[in-house]
């Protein structure tokens, strides 16, 4: 306990000012960048080719044949996810639901990806 207090006493006024200002900027930036608008469409890609663009408001299940097997993409209640995938570690399945513009779920072993987009895409392409 005494060692802990000695460590805190070594901080000067300028140190506390920098720590406080940095903490404030971190919290402010989290609120600014995490408030993304909801997406309108989901774009599904297999490798370099686009398989289709679907409305995120229409509930459906889409089956995509990938490199190592079939992935199951679910669109429900304005959100999308990869429900099932043949990959070993299932990172894409555990990523869960996405619904905000510019969010994506990628299954690298199966070369299947889904992107949430608005009225138009903000980028040209994404490469594996």
pLDDT > 70 in the chain, percent: 84
CA–CA dist 78, 110 (Å, integer): 25
pLDDT of residue 57: 92
In the predicted structure, residue 124 carries a pLDDT above the cut 70 = no
Residue ranges of domains in the chain:
2-33, 41-117
Q: What is the pLDDT of residue 1?
A: 55
- The CATH class that applies to domain 41-117 reads mainly beta
Give residue-wise pLDDT tens across range 11-46. 788 888 999 999 999 998 887 777 678 889 999 999
CA distances from 41 to 55, 102, 126 (A): 5, 10, 17
Higher pLDDT: 119 or 105? It is: 105
Q: Return the structure tokens found at 86.
A: 């043949």
Q: Is the pTM of this model over 0.85?
A: no
pLDDT of residue 5 exceeding 60: no
């Amino acid at each position: 306990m005494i060692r802990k207090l000695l460590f805190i006493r070594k901080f000067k006024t300028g140190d506390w000012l920098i720590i406080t200002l940095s903490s404030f900027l971190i919290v402010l930036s989290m609120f600014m960048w995490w408030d993304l608008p909801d997406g309108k469409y989901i774009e599904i890609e297999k490798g370099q080719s686009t398989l289709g663009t679907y409305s995120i408001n229409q509930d459906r299940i889409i089956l995509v044949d990938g490199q190592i097997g079939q992935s199951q993409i679910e669109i429900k209640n304005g959100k999308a996810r990869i429900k099932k995938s043949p990959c070993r570690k299932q990172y894409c399945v555990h990523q869960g639901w996405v619904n905000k513009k510019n969010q994506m779920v990628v299954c690298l072993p199966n070369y299947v990806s889904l992107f949430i987009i608005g009225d138009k895409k903000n980028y040209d392409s994404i490469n594996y």
